[in-house]
């Protein structure tokens, strides 16, 4: 019995390798457009291939492999973008937790710039529509789970996710516009 399981595993591995080799370049080109740069596209493709290999038993038809792999990769790319988008907010959170804004030996320009970024962020958050701001504050600032936020607001989890996505998108656009304008 063990021998037949090993043979099936080997066949699955051979099929996976063949499928991966056949479709990885096309999926990479898609990820290049989605992720926006070569490094992220390569990282996303590698992680997607690994996830696909681990979940190969979920694939019902090898003809759907390319679309399946591309969907896994797109989700990973979106997650990567979201982490990158959230980085300034996480840094802001860390700044607020710090009781002392000015560290010994820190230049006054750095302190002023940090405060300006913090002010820009909170101004952008305050300009969000109320329903978006409410979801954003509960989920990303207070760090409640999606289920907790949905329950607290009396909405479905899907509605909460939709509002949160719109809030993050609007916040990103506001910050991009303000930071772009301040650079010029």
Q: What is the pLDDT of residues 89-99, one digit of tens each?
A: 555 555 554 54
Q: Compute the distance between CA of residue 9 and CA of residue 76 in angstroms, rounded to an integer.
A: 26
Instruction: Output the DSSP codes for 88-138.
Output: HHHHHHHHHH-S-SSPTT--HHHHHHHHHHHHHHHHHHHTS-HHHHHHHII
Domain ranges of the chain: 2-81, 100-183
CA 42, CA 32: separation in Å to the nearest integer? 8
| Assigned CATH topology for domain 100-183 | Arc Repressor Mutant, subunit A (1.10.10)
Residue 59 has pLDDT above 50, yes or no: yes
Tell me what pLDDT residue 107 has.
62
Between 12 and 68, name the one with better pLDDT: 68
Instruction: Give mean pLDDT, residues 7-18.
Output: 55
pLDDT at 86 over 80: no
C-alpha distances in angstroms, 12 versus 59, 70, 71?
11, 19, 20
pLDDT at 173 over 80: yes
Contact between residue 20 and residue 66 where contact means Cβ atoms under 8 Å apart: no
Fold category of 2-81 in CATH:
Rna Polymerase Sigma Factor; Chain: A (1.10.1740)
What the block records as the tokens of 35 is 């992720």
What is the average pLDDT score of the chain?
Answer: 76
Percentage of residues in the chain having pLDDT higher than 70: 72
Average pLDDT, integer, range 71-79: 85
Length reported for the chain: 184
Predicted pLDDT of residue 55: 84
How many CB atoms are closer than 10 A to CB 162? 14
Equal CATH topology for 2-81 and 100-183? no
Let me know how many helices (H) and strands (E) the chain has, helices first: 7, 0
Whole-angstrom CA distances from 69 to 37, 53, 65, 98 are 19, 10, 6, 43
Q: Measure the CA–CA gap between 71 and 68, rounded to whole angstroms.
A: 5
Position 168 confidence tier, pLDDT thresholds 50, 70, 90 = confident
Side-chain half-sphere exposure of 130, counting CA atoms within 13 A: 1
pLDDT tens digits for range 107-141: 666 667 667 777 787 888 889 999 998 998 898 88
């Amino acid at each position: 019995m063990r021998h037949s399981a090993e043979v099936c595993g080997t066949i699955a591995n051979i099929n996976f390798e063949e499928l991966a080799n056949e479709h990885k370049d096309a999926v990479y080109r898609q990820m290049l457009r989605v992720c926006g740069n070569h490094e992220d596209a390569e990282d996303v493709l590698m992680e997607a291939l690994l996830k696909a290999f681990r979940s190969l038993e979920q694939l019902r038809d090898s003809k759907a492999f390319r679309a399946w792999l591309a969907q896994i990769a797109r989700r990973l790319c979106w997650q990567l973008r979201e982490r990158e988008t959230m980085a300034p907010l996480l840094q802001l959170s860390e700044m607020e937790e710090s009781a002392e804004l000015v560290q010994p030996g820190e230049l006054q320009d750095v302190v002023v710039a940090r405060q300006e970024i913090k002010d820009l962020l909170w101004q952008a958050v305050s300009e969000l529509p109320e329903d978006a701001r409410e979801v954003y504050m509960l989920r990303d600032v207070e760090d409640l789970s999606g289920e907790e936020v949905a329950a607290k607001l009396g909405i479905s989890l899907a509605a909460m996710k939709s509002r949160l996505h719109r809030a993050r998108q609007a916040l990103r656009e506001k910050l991009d516009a303000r930071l772009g304008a301040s650079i010029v």
